[in-house]
Amino acid sequence: MTPLHVAVVTETFPPEVNGVAMTLGRMVQGLLARGHRVSLVRPRQHAADVDGFSDATPRLTTTRVRGLQIPGYAGLKFGLPAPRLLRRMWRKDPPDVVQVATEGPLGASAIAAARDLDIPVVSEFHTNFHAYSRHYGFAWLEGIVAAHLRRLHNRSRMTLVPSRQLGVELQRTGYRNIRVVARGVDTALFNPARRSAALRAAWKLGQQDLVVAHVGRLAPEKNLPLVLATFDAIRRHVPGTRLLLVGDGPARTRLMQEHPEHIYAGMRHGEDLAAHYASADLFLFPSLTDTWGNVTLEALASGLPVVAYRLAAAAEFIRHGENGMLADPGVSDQFVRGALDLVTRPRARRRAAMAAPHSVAALDWEHIHDQLVAALRDAIARPALPPTDEAVYGFLADP
């Protein structure tokens, strides 16, 4: 088939470290490997800004635009609107499709510019920004942000979501033209063989000691108080258990001051990150805001039983009592009991640890990349939305 020219517009991209950036980096790699051309548009993060991909990569060009600091997100900016620049670029070199990965001002201007030029647009729903507002003192904005996101996505020909559960939830609130494109996990990188006796020794722990891990941004939206409360309950049953926190964020300083006994590993990457996962014994993920949760899949692939709410990736890949424990969303007592059930039954925890990698073994990125290309081609083939945006195609399941 004829290779595509895909214009990807995003607020975040490698080497920035977050779920959206890492997923999008993988997706762009997949497009390039299949012979497609990618024109990337994103904010310039700092003066010496360099992509995680070399600017010399064949078939990849990068345009950096102005941005402003995102409050509470050190080192990350949102892109300012650039409609004139985008229209000029896309008139000169029209892409087959515009893929808008984030819903900031830059993404909104990209959707408007593409529609003006009659270029098909695919948007992606990665982050519950409307839910984040309540964690940063702007709960009164939640409804306004939710309405804005819905209008924005409904101006695209297709909105990509990582799970059917999220697609159904969005459809119930008025989103149209939903398509499921899941996310994968690198099982060659994340696997139990990365377990490191040397790393555990550095934590002053033996091979039989229990390490409870949480990997992610140390920020209010990650529900860290429940991580701490669950760990305290675990430690009352198994004294000597340690809590490993991998990641950085605005809550880190306060956590280190109030809980100096925990292990703060900071940001980790590649094989080092994989070793931190595999060298733990249990994974806690109590987030109520994540639309997917890449860390859930990485933990399972690393051989960790996962305790999580029945949401996002956890709802699809955790089999309750087999490779982890699920709790009803927001029921914190149930979450704590699930963790204690695994901790107080070592044999059950070991069985769950053995089952965990098998539960995500089929999530090969190559298959995910094929799903993305199929979705992009389908969006190109669909008729343009009328100016009133009233076209309704319903729920577009993954093929």
In whole angstroms, how far apart are CA 93 and each of 5, 55, 87?
9, 18, 10
Q: How far apart are CA 366 and CA 377, in angstroms?
A: 17
Own/partner long-range contacts of 345-348 (Cβ < 8 Å, ≥24 apart): 348/321
Q: How far apart are CA 188 and CA 283, in angstroms?
A: 20
139-148, 350-359, 376-385: least confidently modelled range? 139-148
* Pairing verdict, β 67-69 and 77-79: antiparallel
Amino acid, single-letter form, for residue 350: R
Q: Please, which residues bridge with residue 37 across strands?
A: 5
Per-position b or e across 246-266, b if 16+ CB within 10 A of its CB:
bbbbebbeebeeeeeebbbbe
Distance of CA 35 to the CA centre of its chain: 25
Q: How far apart are CA 327 and CA 235, in angstroms?
A: 20
Query: In this model, does residue 136 exceed pLDDT 50?
Result: no
- Residues listed for the chain: 399
Q: Any residues with CB less than 8 A from the CB of 344 and at least 6 apart, and which?
A: 237, 238
pLDDT digits (tens, 9 = 90+) for 281-332: 999 999 998 888 999 999 999 999 999 999 989 999 999 999 999 999 999 9
How confident is the prediction for the chain on average, in pLDDT?
89
Q: How far apart are CA 379 and CA 177, in angstroms?
A: 10
Residue 398 has a pLDDT of: 39
pLDDT digits (tens, 9 = 90+) for 187-218: 999 999 999 999 999 999 988 999 999 999 99
CB 211 within 8 A of CB 203: yes
How does residue 393 score in pLDDT terms, banded at 50, 70 and 90?
very low
pLDDT digits (tens, 9 = 90+) for 166-177: 899 999 999 999
The tokens 């979450």 sit on which residue?
Answer: 335
Rounded to the nearest 10 degrees, what angle do helices 332-343 and 224-237 cross at? 40
Say what percent of the chain tops pLDDT 70: 87
Q: Any residues with CB less than 8 A from the CB of 242 and at least 6 apart, and which?
A: 203, 205, 209, 210, 211, 212, 262, 263
How does residue 140 score in pLDDT terms, banded at 50, 70 and 90?
very low
pLDDT digits (tens, 9 = 90+) for 12-70: 898 887 888 889 999 999 999 999 999 999 998 766 666 656 555 789 999 999 988 77
Q: How far apart are CA 364 and CA 346, in angstroms?
A: 30
Residue 45 has a pLDDT of: 76
pLDDT digits (tens, 9 = 90+) for 221-279: 899 999 999 999 999 999 999 999 999 999 999 999 999 999 999 999 999 999 999 99
How does residue 128 score in pLDDT terms, banded at 50, 70 and 90?
low
Residue 122 has a pLDDT of: 98
CA terminus-to-terminus distance, the chain: 18
